[in-house]
Amino acid sequence: MDDATYAAWMRAGLDTWMLGAEAANVMALRCARIATGGAAGRAETELMVTEKLRAAVELQTRLMTGALGLTPLTIVQGTTQHYRRKVAANSKRLIR
């Protein structure tokens, strides 16, 4: 493996690790919202399930159409970017 490929994989690994950290934060925010119960908690639960299903279908479509690229590295990078955008949007919404 050449230096550029190694560096790209290391960056992909770091980005994936960051996704995990960001997702953990969103999970905590969502749990707090759901724990309040009532209509807000119920709405957050429904939104969470809907968003997860939609994100998975979108990603599968991108994979099947080649939009994520054709190499393992581009697929990992595209998948991570896909979910990081979703997680960032949820974080922004939940912090307000």
> Does residue 31 lie within any of the structural domains?
yes
| Predicted pLDDT at 53 | 97
The two three-digit tokens of residue 34, written as one number: 């759901």
pTM, two decimals, is: 0.90
| Predicted pLDDT at 96 | 87
> Does residue 87 lie within any of the structural domains?
yes
> Does residue 7 lie within any of the structural domains?
no
> Does residue 74 lie within any of the structural domains?
yes
> Does residue 13 lie within any of the structural domains?
no
Q: Return d(Cα 72, Cα 95) in angstroms, integer.
A: 34
CA diameter of the chain? 55
The two three-digit tokens of residue 30, written as one number: 């969502």
How confident is the model over 17-33, as pLDDT tens digits?
999 999 999 999 999 99
Residue 48 CB neighbour total at 10 angstroms: 16
> Does residue 28 lie within any of the structural domains?
yes
| Predicted pLDDT at 26 | 97
Taking CA 57 as the corner, what is the angle to CA 27 and CA 62, rounded to the nearest 5 degrees?
Answer: 110
Domain count, the chain: 1
pLDDT beneath 50: ranges in the chain: none
Q: Return d(Cα 79, Cα 82) in angstroms, integer.
A: 5
| Predicted pLDDT at 1 | 81
> Does residue 1 lie within any of the structural domains?
no
**Domain of residue 27, residue span:** 20-95
> Does residue 39 lie within any of the structural domains?
yes
